[in-house]
Chain A
Amino acid sequence: MGYFKDILVGGWSLVKGLEVTIKRLYRPVVTLQYPRHKIEMSPSYRGHIELRRFPDTGSHYCVACGTCMKVCPSGVIKLQGEKERALEAKRVVHYYIDFSHCSLCGLCVESCPMQTLKFSTEYELADESRWDGVIDLVKYFEESAR
């Protein structure tokens, strides 16, 4: 008796399986046609770091203190700042990261005393050379202003 029961139960499960797939056939597709359509990235996405723009000054607050450089476990940050006049705060002039070695741990973002670092939502980072992973954040910041 188990023989026929197996056939019937098995056959019924196959029919149920077919039902599942035929329903999918008429559902709207969920994929996005990538180069033509793009979605807004989630704010919690971790791209490479970037300088945060503050609405009161329209600029970043980076004073080139170097905390991020010291705290970075992979040593991928290198920055340089200069003072335009005496008694004024330092401003960053060069801020290089080597994103190809970055482990996205986020210690730089957490440790920044001016809270002027954040993760960008940049995701189209494919490049041809290992040196293309080196990004000048100051330049990136100026370009994103435009």
Chain B
Amino acid sequence: MAGFMEHVLANELGRLIVGLIVVLIFSQLNALFLVWLERKVAGHIQLRIGPKEVGPFGLLQTIVDGLKLVGKELITPKRADRILFIIAPVLVFVPVLVPFIVLPFSKSLPLNDMNVGLLVIFSFSTINVLAILIGGWGSNNKYALLGAIRSVAQNIAYEIPLLLSVLSVVLMTRTLQMSKIVEAQTSYWFFLVQPIAALTYFICATAETNRAPFDIPEAESELVAGFHTEFSGMRFGLFFLAEYTNVFVVCAVATTLFLGGWTGPFGHSFGIPGIIWFLAKTYLLVFVIMWFRWTFPRLRFDQLISFSWKVLIPLALANLIITAGVIKLI
């Protein structure tokens, strides 16, 4: 068995298949854990205790909820565009899996350490918007369509400062390879020298994942549930899984770019393996995003767009120009 696994792992395709299976399992478990964490954080911030009935500390609650979703009927509205309606939940889940191929969990763990790793992540995470648009349009429901339209406008507005802030890190490291970016941070983490880029990235990442306070695409008080209003059962479940996996991915990218990936602070790892450092930092950022959700009220649409165009983009652009100038001088 061990010999067989070695043979499989030596092969590029075998490595990819094994990796994909691990990623699929990890993304499901991660989403289940994040939903539980979200409910616990929400509960304690509101002086409640959150789920506690199923399993120790209610840990199995999300598994039970997932089983319920699997058991539910998949309802397709009569006037919906059947093909688009069925494609959308699948399409939303595929792009969130692709970034796992290049995420550097530890020095030896990226499935495929491409030299365009960062590019792969951002090109695929944009497909998410397309899936939301298809889902909203295919539902043939005014609330779903409104949610989808808002999502597209928001994602276009926030993609620009996101990429600008990432670009200033790329300028410093002169590479798009994830492992090289992490290795450049062994002596100090980049959020110390790029605080504005780090902050801009994090705000935009919150908006990209449609999380509060930027959750107007699914604003439940105005749009029922936004783009996934008409989806039931596991189709809704896939949207949900994709959202939480997406949260993990943007936080993992933030960890890689600004918090030194698998390295410990200032080059000391304290004997803790790299993957633990990586996951600890990522889940800390995930917690911060949840913390945002239960602190800030939702922005109005015009506030949201003007915040991006009037504040984030000029800031990120100025930061990029200053970074380029400083690098040229050094």
Interface residues of chain A, those whose CB is within 8 Å of chain B, are 7, 14, 17-18, 20-22, 24-31, 33
Contacts and interface: CB of A to CB of B under 8 A. Distances in A.
Contacts of A29: 43-44, 47-49
Which among A18, A27, A28 has the highest number of chain B CB atoms within 10 Å? A18
Contact of B49 (A7, A20, A21, A31): A31
Interface in B43-74: 43-49, 52
A31 B294 contact: no
The majority secondary structure among interface residues of chain A is: helix
B41 interface: yes
B11 interface: no
A21 B290 CA distance: 11
Given A25-B41, A30-B47, A31-B49, A20 B295 contact: yes
B44 A25 contact: yes
Interface string B285-322: 00000011011100000000000000100000000000
Nearest to A26: B44
For the complex of A and B, 7 pairs with smallest distance between CB atoms: A21-B295, A30-B47, A31-B48, A17-B295, A25-B44, A29-B49, A21-B45
A7 B48 contact: no
Nearest to A7: B311
Contacts of A33: 49, 52
Given A7-B311, A18-B291, A24 B46 contact: yes
Given A14-B296, A21-B291, A21-B295, 19 more contacts: A17-B296, A18-B291, A18-B292, A21-B45, A21-B294, A22-B291, A24-B46, A24-B47, A25-B41, A25-B44, A26-B44, A27-B47, A28-B47, A29-B47, A29-B49, A30-B48, A31-B47, A31-B49, A33-B49
Nearest to A24: B45
A14 B311 CA distance: 15
B258 to A, nearest CB: 18
Contacts of A28: 47
21 contacts: A7-B311, A17-B295, A17-B296, A18-B291, A18-B295, A20-B295, A21-B291, A21-B294, A21-B295, A24-B46, A25-B41, A25-B44, A26-B44, A27-B47, A29-B44, A29-B49, A30-B47, A30-B48, A31-B48, A33-B49, A33-B52
Contacts of B295: 17-18, 20-21
Contacts of B296: 14, 17
Contacts of A20: 295
Q: Which of A21, A22, A29, A30 has the most CB of B within 10 A?
A: A21
Interface residues of B, number: 15
Contacts of A17: 295-296
B293 to A, nearest CB: 10
Interface in B117-174: none
A18 B41 CA distance: 13
A14 B296 CA distance: 8
Interface-centre pick from B41, B46, B52 (highest chain A CB count, 10 A): B46
Contacts of A26: 44
A24 B291 contact: no
A122 to B, nearest CB: 26
Nearest to A30: B47
Contacts of B311: 7
A14 B294 CA distance: 12
A26 B43 CA distance: 11
A114 B100 CA distance: 79
Nearest to A16: B295
A29 B44 CA distance: 7
B225 to A, nearest CB: 25
Contacts of B45: 21, 24-25
A17 B311 CA distance: 20
Contacts of A14: 296
Contacts of B294: 21
A7 B292 CA distance: 18
A33 B43 CA distance: 13
Contacts of B48: 29-31
B205 to A, nearest CB: 16
Interface in B22-59: 41, 43-49, 52
